Amino acid sequence: MTASASIGTRPGRWSHELQAGLAVARRTALVELRYRNKFAMDLIGHLIGLAPIVLTAWALSGGRHSNRLTELAGLPDPFTFVLLGFVAFSSIGLGSILMLYTGAWSNVGWEQTNGVFERNMLAPVRRGTILFGISGYFTTLFAYHAVTLFLFGWLIFGLQPEVTWTGLGLGIVALLCLLVTSCSLGVIGASLTLGFKEEELYLLIVSRPMTVLSGAYFLIELVPQPFRALAMVNPLAYAIDAFRGALTGHPLLVPNNGVAIGAAIAVAAGMSILAIPVHRRMTHRMVQKGTLGLF
Amino acid sequence: MATKTAMHSLISHVNSLRITAIDSLTVAHYRLIAQLRARTWFVTASTTAFFMVGPLVLLGETLVGRNGERLQPFFELSGYQNYTGYLAVPLAFAVLTNSAYSWIGQAIRSEQQAGTFERVLVSMRYPASLLLGGSLAHLAFLAFFIAFGIASVKVLADLQLDVNWPSALGAGLLHLYAVYGFAFILSSLFLWIHDAFIVQQSISYVIIPIIAGAGYPIAILPGWAQVVAEVIPFTWAFELERATFLKHSSLADMPSHVLLILGTSTAMWIAAAFLFRLTLRRARQTGTLGLY
pLDDT band at A93 (very low <50, low <70, confident <90, very high): confident
For the ranges A109-123, A164-178, B148-162, the maximum mean pLDDT occurs at A164-178
Q: DSSP string covering B174-225, please?
A: HHHHHHHHHHHHHHGGGGT-TTHHHHHHHHHHIIIIIIS-SSS-GGGS-HHH
Closest CA relative to residue A206, chosen from A284, A86, A38, A94:
A94
Neighbours of A31 (CB within 10 A): 16
| Most confident listed range (A195-199, B189-193, B232-236) | B232-236
Residue A65: other Cβ atoms inside 10 A: 11
Mean pLDDT confidence for A131-159: 90
| Cα A32 from Cα A197, distance rounded (Å) | 22
Chain B, residues 52-81, CB within 8 A of chain A, namely 54-56, 58-65, 68-70, 73-74, 77-78
Per-residue pLDDT at A37 exceeds 70: yes
Averaged pLDDT, B77-98:
86
- Number of A to B CB contacts under 8 A, please give it: 146
Cβ density class B41-51: b for 16+ within 10 Å, e for less: beebbbbbbbb
Q: Which of A48, A55, A59 sits opposite B77 (nearest CB)?
A: A59
**Inter-chain residue contact B205 with A48, CB threshold 8 Å:** yes
- State the average pLDDT over residues A135-163: 89
pLDDT confidence of residue A12: 64
pLDDT band at A11 (very low <50, low <70, confident <90, very high): low
CA angle B247, B249, B255 (to 5 degrees): 140
Report yes or no: A91 and A100 within 8 Å, Cβ to Cβ: no
Between residues A144 and A204, the one the model is more confident about: A144
DSSP category for residue A205: I
Q: What are phi and psi of B229, to 5 degrees?
A: -60, -35
pLDDT, greater one: B81 or B269: B269
Q: Do residues B132 and B24 make contact, with C-beta atoms less than 8 angstroms apart? A: yes
**Secondary structure letter of residue A206 according to DSSP:** I
- Name every chain B residue with its beta carbon within 8 A of the beta carbon of A68: 62-65, 68-70
Task: Give φ, ψ of B280 to 5 degrees.
Answer: -65, -40
- Tell me the longest C-alpha to C-alpha distance in chain A: 65
Assign A5 a pLDDT band (cuts: 50, 70, 90): very low
**Complex ipTM, two decimals?**
0.86
pLDDT of residue B236: 94
- Position A9 pLDDT exceeds 50: no
> pTM of the prediction?
0.87
Q: Residue A140's pLDDT is what?
A: 93
**Across chain B, what does the average pLDDT equal?**
87
Query: What is the rounded average pLDDT of the residues A194-210?
Result: 78
Q: What pLDDT was estimated at residue B1? A: 67
Query: What percent of chain B is predicted at pLDDT more than 90?
Result: 30
pLDDT tens for B248-292 read: 999 999 999 999 999 999 999 999 999 999 999 998 898 888 876
The pLDDT score that the predictor gives to residue A7 is 41
- Return the half-sphere exposure (C-beta side, CA atoms, 13 A cut-off) of residue B5: 2
State the average pLDDT over residues B24-41.
83
Radius of gyration of chain A (CA): 20
Q: Do A35 and B194 touch (CB under 8 A)?
A: yes
Q: What is the mean pLDDT of residues B110-117?
A: 81
